[in-house]
Amino acid sequence: MSAPAEEALDRIRGDAPARNHNARTISALTSNPGCNRRAIMDAAGIDKSRLASYVGFPAQFGQSQFAITRGNVFEAQVKADGCAELLTLLRERLALALPEVSYDDLELVGGNTSPELRHARTKTLLARAAAGLDDAGTLFDHPLLRLSVGGRDVYLEPDLIAFQWKGQFHVIEIKSFPVIDGQADGEKVAAAVIQSAVYVHAMRALLADQGFPSDVVADNVVLVCPKDFSNRPTVTFVDVRKQLTVLRRQLSRLTRIDVLLSLLPPTLSLSVARPAAAVVADLRRIEARYMPECLDTCDLARFCRDESHGCTRVMGHTVSEDLGGVETVETALGLARGTLPPSPEQEDAASLLRLAWSLREECFGGVA
């Protein structure tokens, strides 16, 4: 990342401290790679929630402390006593040998917690394990990985990594949503899986740098969740190959941030120290790509939704397609009513819409 680009991002963010990317934001980014607005905001480390409030469209997020507490309690339980409960499960499912019980906490490096130091230590320990040396290590807690996203380095922290001697690394994610009768909430599992794929990808990159093949990291990630209605953990293996393919593709498509920045005026800034109207004007200069799914994943969604008012896209991709891919509702209705003559590209859409219109008239009659 070039110095001018870093400066530009700092200017865009303003005085506030930069928020870090994490696996969740990366997976959100890759699910909507065409949104430059999000890419710039995340690269600059902008507090999107604060920004959204500032421009008059506060996000409805926030985390319930009950959920946070429950998550912390469950994670603490799984990791207690050198991950005793997890070891029992891994011995069974991964066939870990009896001597494989070693636990390394990579969070503290003698009290110093700088990311560079932690990452360096993570690299060392993981490489040592991969090389099959005697003190290979089994469980690595709070490892710090690094990934290049849009030309910038992002630090990532999976929950745990397990290593099987002369075998593979497995990414382990501890989640507090339950697995009941072998089934879990599909959406939550999907989100956890995409996140894990980001970690697998980052680990492979880290180890590839040191000359290890990508299959030293397993395609299976280990999800640790509460079993049924209890607090006992249960372990599920999930194959992330599909998500990895999508991720690799999307990451490569993420336009490099400096390219995006070069499209913007040099004075552009989203700092909340500026008057709100100026910030709104500058926000609009960065192209966005709103879809309803943004409401669940991006704090700024309501602003972008309001900005897209009148576009068929606001009602969802399927609706937009059903209306012949026409951009605005007004156009779609005009074509349907026959009051708007279609352009050559709109011919097909127009005939589809006119048919639908007449069907609706037939059923409901007298519609304006």
Partner 1 sequence: MSTLTSLARALAFETGRAVPVAARRHAHLSDRPLVFVPLSLAGEANAPLACLVGSQASAPRLLVVPQPRNRDLRFAFAASLASVVLDYVDSFAASMEVIEGRNVATDAPQLLVANPSGVAFTRLLGRSTRLRRTEGEYAVEPSVPLLGLWLTYFAERNEHPGSSSMLAMTSVLAAHWATGQSTLEDANLAALIGWIDPPPGMSGPEAAAMAEDPVRCPPAGPATDPTFDNEVLAPLVRSYDHAVDDAGRARAAAALGTALRGRGAGDGPARAAGTDVAADVAWGLVAPGPASGSFVAEAMAAGPSRVHRPDGVLARRRPATGANGPSGGGGPPAQPPGTRTGRSHCGPGVRRRAGHGGGPARR
Partner 2 sequence: MLERRIDELRTAVRLAAVAGDRVNARALRAELRRAEDAWERALTALGEPSPMPPALVAVGSLLPVREQVHHALTLLTVPAAPRLIVAVHEAFFSGEMVSARLTSLRRDEERSFRSAPYARPYYLCPALTADMLAPARGLLTVSTWSVAERIVGPLSLRVHFLTAAIRVADAVVRLDAPRPATGHLLRRFAANIPGAIDGAYTPMSVAKAARAELVVHEEADRYARDEAARRAVRLTDVQRLFGARLGLVGDEAGEEATG
User: H or E stretch including 262?
Assistant: helix 257-262
**Interface region with partner 1, contact rule CB under 8 A, candidates 75-83, 117-125, 143-151, 175-183:** 175-183
User: In terms of CB distance, is 117 or 190 closer to partner 1?
Assistant: 190
**Interface region with partner 2, contact rule CB under 8 A, candidates 93-101, 197-205, 313-321, 346-354:** 93-101
The one of partner 2, partner 1, none whose footprint includes residue 333, by CB under 5 to 8 A per kind, is partner 1
CB of 68 to partner 1, least distance (A): 7
Sheet containing strand 220-226, strands side by side? 103-105, 139-141, 160-163, 169-174, 220-226, 233-239
Q: Rounded to 5 degrees, what are φ and ψ at 88?
A: -55, -45
Beta strands, E only, 32-151: 103-105, 139-141, 145-149
User: H or E stretch including 11?
Assistant: helix 3-13
Do 202 and 196 touch, CB atoms closer than 8 A?
no
Distances (CA, A) of 106 to 24, 109, 146, 231, 244: 21, 7, 14, 26, 25
Q: Any contact of residue 67 with partner 1 (CB under 8 A)? A: yes
Sequence-ordered list of residues with C-beta below 8 angstroms from that of 21, at least 6 positions apart, any chain: 42, 45, 149, 154, 155, 156
Q: Any contact of residue 99 with partner 2 (CB under 8 A)? A: yes
Nearest Cα to 35, choosing from 254, 209, 296, 224? 254
Do 24 and 195 touch, CB atoms closer than 8 A?
yes
CB of 70 to partner 2, least distance (A): 16
The one of partner 1, partner 2, none whose footprint includes residue 197, by CB under 5 to 8 A per kind, is none
User: In terms of CB distance, is 245 or 358 closer to partner 1?
Assistant: 358
User: In terms of CB distance, is 135 or 362 closer to partner 2?
Assistant: 135
Widest distance between CA atoms in the chain: 82
Q: Please, which of residues 296-325 interact with partner 1 by CB under 8 A?
A: 296, 310, 312, 314-316, 318-319, 322-323
Q: Any contact of residue 183 with partner 1 (CB under 8 A)? A: no
Q: Any contact of residue 137 with partner 2 (CB under 8 A)? A: yes
Q: Which of 63, 64, 66, 135 binds partner 2 (CB under 8 A)?
A: 135
Beta strands, E only, 37-151: 103-105, 139-141, 145-149
Q: Any contact of residue 158 with partner 1 (CB under 8 A)? A: no
Please state the separation of Cα 231 from the chain's center in Å: 27
Q: Any contact of residue 327 with partner 1 (CB under 8 A)? A: no
Q: Any contact of residue 351 with partner 1 (CB under 8 A)? A: no
User: In terms of CB distance, is 65 or 339 closer to partner 2?
Assistant: 65
Q: Which of 53, 168, 234, 328 binds partner 2 (CB under 8 A)?
A: 53
Do 286 and 264 touch, CB atoms closer than 8 A?
yes
Q: Any contact of residue 178 with partner 1 (CB under 8 A)? A: yes
Long-range contacts of 178-183 (CB under 8 A, 24+ apart): 178/225, 178/226, 178/227, 178/228, 178/229, 179/225, 179/226, 179/227, 179/228, 179/234, 179/236, 180/228, 180/229, 181/228
The one of partner 2, partner 1, none whose footprint includes residue 102, by CB under 5 to 8 A per kind, is partner 2
**Interface region with partner 2, contact rule CB under 8 A, candidates 55-63, 159-167, 254-262, 303-311:** 55-63
Q: Which of 129, 329, 346, 350 binds partner 1 (CB under 8 A)?
A: 329
Pairwise CA distance, residues 337 & 341, whole Å: 10
Q: Which of 67, 68, 84, 180 binds partner 2 (CB under 8 A)?
A: 84
The residue assigned the tokens 């075998």 is 167
Q: Any contact of residue 15 with partner 1 (CB under 8 A)? A: no
Q: Any contact of residue 359 with partner 1 (CB under 8 A)? A: yes
Binding site for partner 2 (CB under 8 A): 47, 49-50, 53, 58-60, 62, 76, 80-85, 87-88, 91, 98-99, 101-105, 107-112, 135, 137
Binding site for partner 1 (CB under 8 A): 60-71, 176-178, 180-181, 226, 228-229, 292-293, 295-296, 310, 312, 314-316, 318-319, 322-323, 329-330, 332-333, 336, 352-353, 355-357, 359-360, 362-364, 367
